[in-house]
Amino acid sequence: MARAVTNRRKAVTTLAAWLIGIAIFFPILWIIVLSFKTEGEAIKAPLEVLGSPWTLESYATVQERSNYLLHFTNSVIISVGSTVLGLIIAIPAAWAMAFVPGRRTKDVLMWMLSTKMLPPVGVLVPIYLIFRDFGLLDTRFGLTVVLTLINLPIIIWMLYTYFREIPGEILEAARMDGASLRNEILYVLTPMAVPGIASTLLLNIILAWNEAFWTLNLTAAKAAPLTAFIASYSSPEGLFYAKLSAASTMAIAPILVMGWFSQKQLVRGLTFGAVK
């Protein structure tokens, strides 16, 4: 017999879930609130902040001082570009590892993952020097390549896990049915893997969008994405909470909207393989 779920138990669980949800979302909510205040109001105690008048002053200042559209365009190009480039490399790689594994496939997978365990700053100097010598500093192309390489292990791992769930017999059946490798990928594997490819794509766009270490260190002005745009408001001359918050809100808004519309897909991708 299934365990009886009492109404009281349901209420407690619901309340707990809401509290945790609000706790996680609170910092973002607070940034949004602060962005609609003046600098003077923004540094006051929280309750006073909420009571103070709302204004679009900070947004106006940010618009005047920075070229939001340029940074936004850079972020889109770099995050989408690095993800698409990553997928082009990762789909065949994950395909090979999932369906024709060799004796060293497991080791290769672990080795790829191990690169994510290294603190990025450990390779900053060599990469910086390579970028300088090849004239890649402050270029969208250079950043796209770096972010592709940084996220490639995750892309391959996600696709590999996803492909592994597709029974090899179905692909063998396609081969028996006369499908060439191209048709096998086009008509059988891809339609079956679309949810996995889509969630990998979404997650990696978010990761690349939010990546700050490399974007801050390898760009100056031309190729700087929204992360650099935010950072430019935490200046040594003092704290400008309201302007910093306005910049942050503008930077995360696009990805927040995208995440909202694709959350079903994302959750499915992230929990895939956990429950068969």
Partner 1 sequence: MGRITLDQVTKSFGEVNVIPPLDLTIEDGEFVVFVGPSGCGKSTLLRLIAGLEDVSSGQIRIDGEDATDKRPADRGLAMVFQSYALYPHMSVRKNIAFPMKMAGVPEDEQKRRIDGAAAALNLTDYLDRRPGQLSGGQRQRVAIGRAIVREPQAFLFDEPLSNLDAALRVGMRLEISELHKRLATTMIYVTHDQVEAMTMADKIVVLRAGYIEQVGTPLELYRTPRNRFVAGFIGSPRMNFIEGETAAAKGAFAVGVRPEHIAASTESGTWQGKVGVAEHLGSDTFLHVHDTGLADVLTVRVDGELPVRHGDRIFLTPEEDKIHRFDAEGHRL
Binding region for partner 1 (CB under 8 A): 167, 169-170, 172-180, 183, 187-188, 191-192
Distance separating alpha carbons of residues 170 and 182, to the nearest angstrom: 15
Which is closer to partner 1, CB of 70 or CB of 179?
179
Q: Decide if 76 contacts 251 (C-beta within 8 A).
A: no
Between the alpha carbon of residue 95 and those of residues 100, 157, 173, the distances in Å are 8, 11, 17
Distance separating alpha carbons of residues 108 and 112, to the nearest angstrom: 6
CA atoms within a 13 Å half-sphere pointing along the CA-CB vector of 94:
28
Which is closer to partner 1, CB of 175 or CB of 268?
175
Q: Decide if 258 contacts 204 (C-beta within 8 A).
A: no
CB of 166 to partner 1, least distance (A): 9
Q: How many CB atoms lie within 10 A of CB 224?
A: 25
Which is closer to partner 1, CB of 152 or CB of 189?
189
CB of 170 to partner 1, least distance (A): 5
* Positive or negative torsion for Cα 20, 25, 27, 29: negative
Which is closer to partner 1, CB of 179 or CB of 216?
179
CB of 172 to partner 1, least distance (A): 5
CB of 186 to partner 1, least distance (A): 11
CB of 189 to partner 1, least distance (A): 10
118 DSSP assignment: S
CB of 90 to partner 1, least distance (A): 22
Which is closer to partner 1, CB of 21 or CB of 273?
273
Q: Which helix (H) or strand (E) holds 200?
A: helix 190-210
Distance separating alpha carbons of residues 230 and 243, to the nearest angstrom: 9
Which is closer to partner 1, CB of 48 or CB of 172?
172
121 DSSP assignment: G
Distance separating alpha carbons of residues 74 and 95, to the nearest angstrom: 31
CB of 169 to partner 1, least distance (A): 4
Which is closer to partner 1, CB of 185 or CB of 207?
185
